[in-house]
């Protein structure tokens, strides 16, 4: 039996279409990876991407790809060294241990809202990130104006956070 090229291509196109439908259905279950990176000389460190949008129930995994530094991922939460609350009140705080190169840490986000986090040894260098889960509320929290959630943060950290609107429209914000 001879199979025509168009039959093979047709099957391939059907397979691609089926896979694209499958991908849409499992998007909320996919793991989003955030890389901890830095220059070899240690002069600059960052999370990449610095901002992500995920669905409730989705997992985020941080992996240290910086061969010369250890890093943490730590929620801005009073339970973590008395830091200001910059995650939803209903959310669970997190703090990884120091991650050596190629080590990772994961969190599953269930409460909708905006989550800010930082690297303990590099917060003063602006190594911070933002995760948006679902559609955040723009009222009654630190997202508006000069408020308590800004107090006590280093200037470099405050300048580094991507804007919520930027994350919502781009879905992922890469480090520049």
Binding site members: 71, 119, 122, 127
CA distance 161 to 49: 11
Binding site members for Cu cation: 71, 119, 122, 127
Query: Phi and psi dihedrals of 164, rounded to 5?
Result: -55, -45
Paired residues of 61 in beta bridges? 33, 106
Cβ neighbour number for residue 16 with a 10 Å cutoff: 10
From first CA to last CA, the distance across the chain in angstroms is 55
CA distance 44 to 160: 13
| CA-based radius of gyration for the chain | 19
């Amino acid at each position: 039996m001879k199979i025509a090229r168009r039959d093979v291509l047709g099957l391939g196109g059907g397979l691609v279409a089926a896979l694209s439908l499958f991908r849409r259905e499992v998007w909320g279950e996919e793991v989003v990876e955030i890389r901890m990176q830095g220059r070899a000389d240690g002069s600059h460190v960052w999370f990449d991407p610095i901002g992500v949008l995920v669905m409730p129930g989705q997992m985020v995994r941080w992996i240290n790809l910086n061969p010369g530094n250890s890093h943490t991922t730590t929620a801005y939460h009073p339970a973590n060294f008395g830091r200001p609350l910059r995650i939803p009140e209903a959310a669970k705080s997190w703090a990884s241990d120091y991650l050596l190169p190629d080590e990772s840490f994961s969190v599953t986000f269930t409460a909708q809202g905006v989550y800010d986090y930082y690297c303990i040894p590099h917060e003063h260098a602006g190594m911070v990130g933002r995760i948006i889960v679902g559609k955040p509320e723009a009222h009654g929290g630190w997202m508006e104006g000069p408020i308590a959630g800004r107090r006590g943060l280093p200037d470099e950290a405050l300048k580094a956070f991507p804007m919520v609107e930027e994350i919502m429209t781009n879905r992922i914000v890469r480090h520049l």
